[in-house]
Amino acid sequence: MILVISASLHPESRSRILADTAKSKLLKKNASVEVFDLSKKPLPLCDGLTAYGDSNVQELSRLVQEADAILLASPVYNYDVNAAAKNAIELTGKAWTNKLVGILLAAGGPGSYMSAMGVANSLMLDFRCLVLPRFIYALGDAFQGDELCDQQIDQRITELTDELIRLSSAIKK
């Protein structure tokens, strides 16, 4: 199963459009896909104590643990993935151990293109994740309304999902 985590809390999220596009491409390839949308299943702030007992935290932890691969879709705020994405990782912690991870980012400007590196480094160093180097970074002009309109970004999502399926299958063997 491939888990797609949509980390945006914004109702008109562009990173959610990226997540939905990736989900559609995975389903067309007959992949088993689960989606966890933080805007629909909110998580408490990580307090290092009681937050882990929250039912949404427990569900996400289980899904992360069971996933063969994970796609993390996040907006970029202040040159980094949003706080909701980081909070989700903090709350689910060791469930991420040895996971294959792909990253999809929606950003307001071109200056944040390295923003995937903080979360990628954390996942690699803390949990020994294999983070695909083929991440998606889409700017506002890649979208029109609630649709992805940039063919190059669409093609890159196809390549990302192909690679995720290929490596996930190889790891299973």
pLDDT digits over 90-114, tens only?
Answer: 999 999 999 999 999 999 888 888 9
In the structure, what pLDDT confidence band is assigned to residue 172 with cuts at 50, 70 and 90? confident
CATH number of the domain at 67, please: 3.40.50.360
H/E segment holding residue 103: strand 100-107
pLDDT digits over 110-144, tens only?
Answer: 888 898 999 999 999 999 999 999 999 999 999 99
- Report the predicted TM-score, pTM, of the whole model to 2 decimal places: 0.96
Q: Is 52 exposed, middle or buried (0-12, 13-18, 19+ CB in 10 A)?
A: middle
Q: Give how many domains the chain has, as a whole number.
A: 1
For residue 154, the number of C-alpha atoms closer than 13 Å in the C-beta half-sphere is 9
Domain hosting residue 72, numbered range: 2-172
Provide the pLDDT for residue 173: 76
Beta-carbon contacts of residue 69 (< 8 Å; ≥ 6 apart): 2, 3, 99, 100, 101, 102, 164, 165, 167, 168
